[in-house]
Structure 1
Amino acid sequence: MDNIAGSKPALVWAVHLSAALLVALWVFPTLGLFISSFRTADQIASSGWWRSLSTQEAQMPAIRLKGEEVQRDGVYVIDGTLFDGAGATISRWGFNSKDPEAYAAGETAALPTGEALTVTETGAFTLSSTQTMADLRMPRVFATASTPPQFTLNNYDTVLFKPAPGQSVGKAFLNTLTVSIPATIIPILIAAFAAYALAWMEFPGRALLVAAVVGLLVVPLQLALIPLLQFHNMIGIGKGYLGVWLAHTGFGLPLAIYLLRNYMAGLPRDIIENAKVDGATDFQIFTKIILPLSFPALASFAIFQFLWTWNDLLVAMVFLGTTEDQMVLTGTLLNLMGSRGGDWEILSASAFISIAVPLAVFFAMQKYLVRGLLAGSVK
Structure 2
Amino acid sequence: MANVAVADIPAKNPSFSLNIDWSKLATHIVLLLLVIVWTLPTVGLLVSSVRDKDQLTVSGWWSALTTTERTGGGRTSGAEAQKFVDGQFVIEGNLLSEDEKGRTISAFGLTNKTFGENPVGTSVVPKAGGELSVFANGDYRWVSDQEFDFSRGQRVLYVAQIPPRFTLENYVEVLTSEGIDRSFINSFTVTIPATIIPILIAAFAAYALAWMQFPGRGYLVAIVVGLLVVPLQMSLIPILQLYNNVAPMLGVEAKSYLGIWLAHTGFGLPLAIYLLRNYMAGLPKEIMESARMDGASHFKIFTTMVLPLSFPALASFAIFQFLWTWNDLLVATVFLGVGDNELVLTGRLRELIGSRGDNWEILTSGAFISIIVPLAVFFSLQRYFVRGLLAGSVK
Q: Using structure 2 for the length normalisation, give the TM-score.
A: 0.84
Matched residues in 2 for 1:240 and 1:376: separation?
34
Which of 130, 142, 146 is 1:131 aligned to? 146
Matched residues in 2 for 1:184 and 1:289: separation?
22
Q: Would you say 1:38 and 2:54 are equivalent positions?
A: no
Letter in 2 for 1:326: E
Deviations 1:313-355 (A, max 9, x none): 2211221111111012222233334346132332222222223
Deviations 1:232-259 (A, max 9, x none): 2332222211111111112211221121
Q: 2:68 is paired with a residue of what secondary structure?
A: strand
Aligned residue number for residue 113 of structure 1: 128
Question: Residues 93 and 141 of structure 1 are in contact (CA less than 8 Å); yes or no, is this contact kept in structure 2?
Answer: yes
Report the alpha carbon displacement of residue 289 of structure 1 after superposing the two structures with TM. 2.0
Which of 362, 384, 387 is 1:371 aligned to? 387
Which of 1, 4, 7 is 2:20 aligned to? 7
Inter-CA distance 88–310: structure 2 relative to 1 (3 Å threshold): same
Question: Residues 199 and 318 of structure 2 are in contact (CA less than 8 Å); yes or no, is this contact kept in structure 1?
Answer: yes
Aligned residue number for residue 265 of structure 2: 249
Aligned residue number for residue 167 of structure 2: 152
Unaligned runs of 5+ residues in structure 1 are: none
Q: Would you say 1:290 and 2:302 are equivalent positions?
A: no
Deviations 1:94-144 (A, max 9, x none): 223223332222222222432211112211111222333352532222323
Question: Residues 40 and 345 of structure 1 are in contact (CA less than 8 Å); yes or no, is this contact kept in structure 2?
Answer: no
Aligned residue number for residue 106 of structure 2: 91
> Which protein has the larger Cα radius of gyration, Structure 1 or Structure 2?
2
Aligned residue number for residue 337 of structure 2: 321
Matched residues in 1 for 2:216 and 2:250: separation?
29
Unaligned runs of 5+ residues in structure 2 are: 1-16
Which of 21, 27, 41 is 2:39 aligned to? 27
Identity of aligned residues (%): 55
Inter-CA distance 172–312: structure 2 relative to 1 (3 Å threshold): same
**Matched positions, count:** 370
Aligned residue number for residue 172 of structure 1: 183
Inter-CA distance 98–360: structure 2 relative to 1 (3 Å threshold): farther
Letter in 1 for 2:241: I
Question: Residues 39 and 152 of structure 1 are in contact (CA less than 8 Å); yes or no, is this contact kept in structure 2?
Answer: yes
Aligned residue number for residue 200 of structure 1: 211
Q: Using structure 1 for the length normalisation, give the TM-score.
A: 0.88
Question: Residues 130 and 142 of structure 2 are in contact (CA less than 8 Å); yes or no, is this contact kept in structure 1?
Answer: yes
Q: 2:132 is paired with a residue of what secondary structure?
A: strand
Q: Would you say 1:70 and 2:86 are equivalent positions?
A: no
Letter in 1 for 2:189: T
Inter-CA distance 215–349: structure 2 relative to 1 (3 Å threshold): same
Aligned residue number for residue 322 of structure 2: 306
Matched residues in 1 for 2:37 and 2:322: separation?
23
Q: Which stretch shows the higher mean deviation, 308-317 or 177-186?
A: 308-317
Report the alpha carbon displacement of residue 49 of structure 1 after superposing the two structures with TM. 1.4
Question: Residues 38 and 345 of structure 1 are in contact (CA less than 8 Å); yes or no, is this contact kept in structure 2?
Answer: no
Question: Residues 104 and 136 of structure 2 are in contact (CA less than 8 Å); yes or no, is this contact kept in structure 1?
Answer: yes
Letter in 2 for 1:289: M
Matched residues in 2 for 1:22 and 1:237: separation?
48
Q: Would you say 1:185 and 2:196 are equivalent positions?
A: yes
Matched residues in 1 for 2:18 and 2:235: separation?
52
Matched residues in 1 for 2:102 and 2:113: separation?
26
Aligned residue number for residue 47 of structure 1: 59
Which of 78, 94, 103 is 2:118 aligned to? 103
